[in-house]
Amino acid sequence: MKRLIILLLSTISIGHTCLAQETEQDSLSEITNKNALFNRPFVLQSQWGKSSTAIGGYIEGNTNYSSTDGVSDGFSMELRRFNIFLYASVGDYIKFISELEFEHGTEEIALETALLDFELDPALIIRAGILLPPIGYFNQNHDGPKWEFIDRPLVSTTILPATLSEMGIGIHGDFNLSGELFSNVQVLTYELYVVNGLQDGIINNSSGRTSIPLGKASSRFEEDNNGSPSLTGRLGIKFKTLGEFGGSFYAGRYNRFQEDGLDLDEKRSLYLWAFDYNLNIKKLRILGEWAWASINVPQSLGPAFGDQQWGAHTDLIYPIRKGDLWRWKETTLNANVRMEFVDYNQGDFVETGANRFDQIWAIVPGISLRFGTNTALKVNFRYQWEKDLLGNPTIKSTGYQFGFASYF
């Protein structure tokens, strides 16, 4: 009996709330505290048929079959990512977007983006929240369905630490230059943000080398480890026919050098520079990025921890067949090749004068079948050469991958 009364009261209460919402006359004074759960703009907008919220995402997965120096662990499959986007136009010239990432199922769940854009003018937009620093081309442009290759470029993930999300605030904007001084230039873009910055994991790690990606501490959305924010920015220029070039940087102190008024270490800085391009020359698409890193590393860590790193990749994509294929209309079959190189430790050994290697080269030919622009099937063959720090005999790896990626 008691349960029945509670159920009736609840039903009346919700019914009353909905009625109130339908009148579009809600105000705090008319809503009880108990109903605050539903007193949210997206609920109200939805009920009024004026919702501006959109949901989307992408999925990508692949098979792996590779061998290193002739030893293979056999065939396996992985679901790399299942990411959900949430977008809302929350007001006049105010936009919200977020991305929630599920990597390898639920092995790693991360909030990759959650930001607000306040557009004062197309040339001046204030951005705040968890954002993707614009270092290089890939970090902001990393969705699997956009790429013709299954693996992400080494330079983009191991020197530029994509995907890098940071809590930050800053400005960005576009200058439309067409028809003005430079007839061939379509648009000039800029971005400049202050972010919490990468942290001590760059050198305090269990990888035995300087690793910029390991500087992504989980606490970086909560606080800066050293109270000294980092600065990141990118300048891009897009030509009408050729495509886009970009130059970008990321700079700041990464280590915890002071706490409770105590000096714990020297102030150590990280500088990243990148140059990227996304070009179209007739049917051939060329995209890639080059990156350089300079890291203040304690000498006491020894030569395995390099203070200079660099790397590059270039993807060549050429459509070899366009048209209907089986039941699908307007498909494109691309022939692709990626060339990439990373050097994690530039310099020589003091003890012998020999080069410190710690390098990887790879060439990845492949084909991709695109169903429009949002969905792709990919086949890659990877041939990789790896030299350890000392320059011992090259470790050779080969592998095949079949992958799929699609927005939804």
Q: Which residues bind other proteins (CB under 8 A)?
A: 65-67, 69-72, 200, 203-208, 255, 264-265, 268, 298, 300-304, 326, 349-352, 354, 379, 381, 388, 390-393, 396-400
Q: In angstroms, rounded to a whole number, what is the distance separating the alpha carbons of residues 116 and 61?
A: 30
If the CB atoms of residues 303 and 319 are measured against other proteins, the closer one turns out to be 303
- In 45-141, which ranges are E strands? 53-68, 71-91, 94-103, 108-121, 124-131
Provide the minimum distance between the beta carbon of 276 and other proteins in the complex, in angstroms, as a whole number.
Answer: 31
Report yes or no: 333 and 321 within 8 Å, Cβ to Cβ: yes
Give the C-alpha separation, 114 to 98, whole Å: 4
Measuring CA to CA, which residue among 399, 378, 385 is closest to residue 343?
385
Minimum distance from residue 297 beta carbon to other proteins (Å): 8
Give the nearest distance from C-beta 267 to other proteins in angstroms. Answer: 11
Q: Which is nearer to other proteins, 35 or 205 (CB)?
A: 205
Closest distance between other proteins and the C-beta of residue 400, in Å?
5
Cβ closer to other proteins: 172 or 268? 268
Tell me the closest approach of the beta carbon of residue 24 to other proteins, in angstroms: 56
Q: Which is nearer to other proteins, 30 or 388 (CB)?
A: 388
Q: State the nearest-atom distance from the C-beta of 88 to other proteins, in Å.
A: 40
Task: Mark residue 367 as left, alpha or beta (left: phi above 0; alpha: psi -120 to 50; beta: remaining).
Answer: beta
DSSP characters for 345-397? --SB-TTT-PBP--EEEEEEEEEEEEETTTEEEEEEEEEEEEE-TT-PSPEEE
Based on CB atoms, which residue is closest to other proteins, 113 or 255?
Answer: 255
Kindly tell me which of 17 and 397 has the beta carbon lying closer to other proteins.
397
What is the torsional sign of CA 347, 343, 291, 107? negative
Contacts of 263 by beta carbon, 8 Å cutoff, 6+ apart? 257
The CB-of-369 to other proteins minimum distance in angstroms stands at 11
We find the least distance from the C-beta atom of residue 154 to other proteins, in angstroms, to be 19
Nearer to other proteins, 194 or 301 (CB): 301
225: left (phi over 0), alpha (psi -120 to 50) or beta: alpha
Nearer to other proteins, 31 or 337 (CB): 337
DSSP-derived secondary structure letter, 152: P
Helix then strand then coil, % of the chain, to nearest 5: 15, 55, 35
CA 126 from chain centre, in angstroms, equals: 20
Which tokens hold the place of 98? 């977020």
